[in-house]
Structure 1
Amino acid sequence: MEPDSPPAELILTHPRQTLGSIQLDWNAQPGSYLDFEGQTYAVLERRHRYFLRSGRYQLHKIALYVQSAQRPSERSLIDGYWVIGDISCRYNARSELVRCAVNPEGPCNSCRFYERE
């Protein structure tokens, strides 16, 4: 992000509470993970708030909706973004947030439902 961008407000989704603000030097998108005060969080949603000044909209606030999470040990890179789990499995959701429908908690390597695509 730009050096003059506003800090991002971290909001825990359940129970809903504000954790604090953080200055990010990268673009935290849904599916990414960040560390804040010794805890790891998964970004679920990103919202921007703008205000009109001198006929132009300017970024006023960034809100990141997060939940407490562990970084997944199994990740694969597809088309420039990271997905959870083994993408060679037929049931992989190819998502940054969900591993698969049959074994969402993982791990993939010992899953009895694993089917190679």
Structure 2
Amino acid sequence: MEKNLLPTEIILTPARQCIAKLNLNRRLQPGNYLDFEGKTYAILERHHFYQYRVGGYRFDKATLHVQESKRPEETSLIGDRYVIGNANCRFNARSEIMRCAVNPEGPCQECRYFELANN
């Protein structure tokens, strides 16, 4: 096994069913999307597990709690991360998981609630 691969379990929420055990070469964060076996999943949570071995604790595995989802078509870049929808709108949640409170399903284009945010 390569040194940089992370043993990771993919757990489908809310059923709490393990759908895969993979060795990933990157650390996926909540708000990212994962394509697996022809389906797209939104990553909701990430947990790390450690095991005590001689000399101290060592990383054992990670779990990703996911939900089947489709990738958002509208995203905005804020700093180094992408958020769903138009981040210039006052009502945008500036989140990788939720668009906004008034129009969560979108789209942002031609939304009747759009107001320019006061930055």
Shift in Å, 1:8: 0.8
In structure 2, distance between residues paired with 1:84 and 1:4: 30
SS at match of 2:20: strand
In structure 2, distance between residues paired with 1:29 and 1:23: 15
In structure 2, distance between residues paired with 1:38 and 1:105: 23
In structure 1, distance between residues paired with 2:58 and 2:84: 35
Instruction: Give every structure 1 segment of 4 or more consecutive aligned residues whose post-TM-superposition deviation is greater than 6 Å.
Output: none
Q: Which runs of 5+ in 2 are unaligned?
A: none
- Asked if structure 2 preserves the Cα contact closer than 8 Å seen for 1:3 and 1:25, the reply is no
Asked if residue 83 in structure 1 is aligned to residue 83 in structure 2, the reply is yes
So what's the TM-score if we normalise by structure 1?
Answer: 0.92
Asked if residue 51 in structure 1 is aligned to residue 34 in structure 2, the reply is no
The one-letter code matched in structure 2 to 1:50 is Y
Q: Which runs of 5+ in 1 are unaligned?
A: none
2:92 corresponds in structure 1 to: 92
2:32 corresponds in structure 1 to: 32
So what's the TM-score if we normalise by structure 2?
Answer: 0.91
Shift in Å, 1:18: 1.0
Shift in Å, 1:50: 0.1
The Cα offsets for residues 53-91 of structure 1, whole Å up to 9 and x where unpaired, read as: 112211101100000010101111111111100011010
* Identity over aligned pairs, percent: 53
Shift in Å, 1:49: 0.5
How many equivalent residue pairs?
116
The Cα offsets for residues 23-63 of structure 1, whole Å up to 9 and x where unpaired, read as: 22221000000101110000000000001111221110110
SS at match of 1:40: strand
In structure 1, distance between residues paired with 2:29 and 2:107: 24
- Asked if structure 2 preserves the Cα contact closer than 8 Å seen for 1:6 and 1:23, the reply is yes
Distance 1:36 1:10, change over 3 A: same
